[in-house]
Amino acid sequence: MPYRWKNKIDVDETIVVIKNVLDKESELPNWLVNTIYGSIRDSDPAMTRFFYSEVKKHAPSSLKYFEEGSTRAPI
């Protein structure tokens, strides 16, 4: 990864990974944040909007990694 989200299933799989990591760890690792940023950057805007709507529903604590101005955003 990173990879381009081609459909909602790709996004759903990303949400599951986020949830699974947060179930075991208190923070998302840098490699995962960077990978997801790559998907956000490279995917169709509709898939990016779907990602944000799903992460708000299912893993809202992870939004801090993907909000504008996040200190975890890749440079």
Q: Each residue of 10-68: pLDDT tens digit? A: 999 999 999 999 999 999 999 999 999 999 999 999 999 999 999 999 999 999 998 87
Residue 75's pLDDT is: 53
Question: CA distances (Å), 53 to each of 24, 31, 41, 49, 75, in order?
Answer: 23, 22, 16, 6, 24
Residues sharing a CB contact under 8 Å with residue 56, sequence separation 6 or more, in sequence order: 63
Instruction: For residue 71, tell me if it sits in a domain.
Output: no
**What's the structural domain count of the chain?**
1
Instruction: Domain of residue 33: give its range.
Output: 8-66
Q: Which residue matches tokens 């990303």?
A: 14
Looking at residue 72, the DSSP 8-state letter turns out to be T
Residue 2's pLDDT is: 57
Q: Each residue of 16-27: pLDDT tens digit? A: 999 999 999 999
62 or 2, greater pLDDT: 62
Task: At 68, give phi and psi (nearest 5°).
Answer: -60, 135
Instruction: For residue 74, tell me if it sits in a domain.
Output: no
Instruction: For residue 15, tell me if it sits in a domain.
Output: yes
pTM here is 0.88
Instruction: For residue 16, tell me if it sits in a domain.
Output: yes
Instruction: For residue 38, tell me if it sits in a domain.
Output: yes
